[in-house]
Structures are given as structure tokens and as C-alpha cells.
Structure 1
Amino acid sequence: MEVLSVTDSGRRRRWSAGEKIRIVEESLSRPRNVALTARRHDISRALLTRWRKDYREGLLGDEPALTFAPVMIAAEPAPVAAPPAAELESSGAVTVAITLVNGRHIVVPAEIDPALLGRLLPVLDGA
């Protein structure tokens, strides 16, 4: 005869918010990594998918959800002639020169609104 205590909870486990966040971030580290991460931590893919959704919505703890931006690093930049920026230089304003992946150049004032620059760059890059 087996005696079960009231405290036995079967297979149900409790995960802290920190553990959930760590597991979700591990699943986000590479594309198509959900099933592998779920198997590694012995949880279902559905549960991990739910945690990922909660993570994106900022519901997995007090920390705001992280967002990722794709970055591409060129092995060796091609030599490019400096773009003409006589108008901005003659005014004495501090400028920033940006060379896009497609070879286009843009020179903007250093005080430019980041939101405006964020909307402008994808248009110039052709994305």
C-alpha cells in the first residue's frame, strides 16, 4: 500500500519569473529553437510558446521585454569616397555621416530625432 501526502503535487512544477525569462531568452537566441529548448527543460512547446507571448507583452515579471534588432557586420568595408556635405559643414553644425549597406550615403545633423532617423533609414536602404 502506498501513502500519498497532501503536499504531493504530481508532475506540476513551479517556475519562477526569472527561470521563465531565462528559458524564453534561450529559445529566442536562434531561429527555430523552440522545440529544442522545450525538450532541454522538459516542458511542452505550447507552454514555452505561451511564455514567449507573455514575454513579448511584458507579462513575465517586472522587467520590460527585450526587443532585438538584426545587425549585419561586413567582413571588410569597401573603400567609399566621402559624400559631399558642403551645406551642413558650412553652417558649422555637427553632423553624422552614415553609409548604408546598399552604398548610399546620408549626412544628418547630430541632433536629429532618433525616431525620424529610424523611419528614414529603411526607406533609403530599400528595405
Structure 2
Amino acid sequence: MDTTLATSLYPRRPGRRPNFPAEFKRQVVEATLQPGASVSIIAREHDVNANLVFRWRQQYQDGMFGPVSHAAKLLPVQVIETPAEIPAAVFPQIDSVAEIVIEVAKAKLRIIGAPDPQTVQIILQQLLR
């Protein structure tokens, strides 16, 4: 395993804080922005404190290490029409007492019992307008 630590690249002088180059900071930050990356593990790999890396991430977002790379990955989306009538099989009849609480902005709706599915659908459509 060939890993080089930050201390070997940027030796620390006694009594002084290390002054890492912006390109090094950018490299560390971009490594933490990869999916599934752990800031603490990457910080340990580069022999820096995780809190320092979090500060660098904020500075990176502010553009202090050059232009920010916004390589956003978009997911495919497919818009489908919803059926006007919902089949009764989708909503099985429940014998027990149930309670539904819907909160939208300052409105709060509480339904106790087993409401008609079409009624709930109409209420939700009106609330979410």
C-alpha cells in the first residue's frame, strides 16, 4: 500500500501551524465530496484533523480554492398520469380504529376511523394545491 501522508509532504515546524497549499486543500475536500466518502477517514489518510477538513469544505464552497466544481449528477425522472379512480384493492378495509394526522403549513387535519379512500384523495389534492 503506497500512501503518502501530509506530514511527509509538508513537514511541521515546532511551534508553528502547517500552511497547506490551496491545491492540497482542494484535493482533500474534493475527495470528501465523493459519494460514500468519510471525512474522518480521508482526514486521517492525509494526517489532518477532521474539523480542519470541514472548515476547508466551507472555504471550498465559498470559492477560496478556485472555482467550485459542481458536477451534479441528475437522476432520470418520468412523469406519469395518475388514474382518476383508485381501485378499491389498493386500499384494503381496516377493521381497527386508525388515526390520520395531516399538517400542511398552519392547517392540521385529524381523521379518526376508517375514511373513504376517495375522500382522503380529494382532501389531499385540495391541501397540496
TM-score range, shorter chain: 0.3 to 0.5
Larger radius of gyration: 2
Higher relative contact order (CA 8 A, sep 6+): 2
What TM-score do you get using the length of structure 1 for normalisation? 0.46
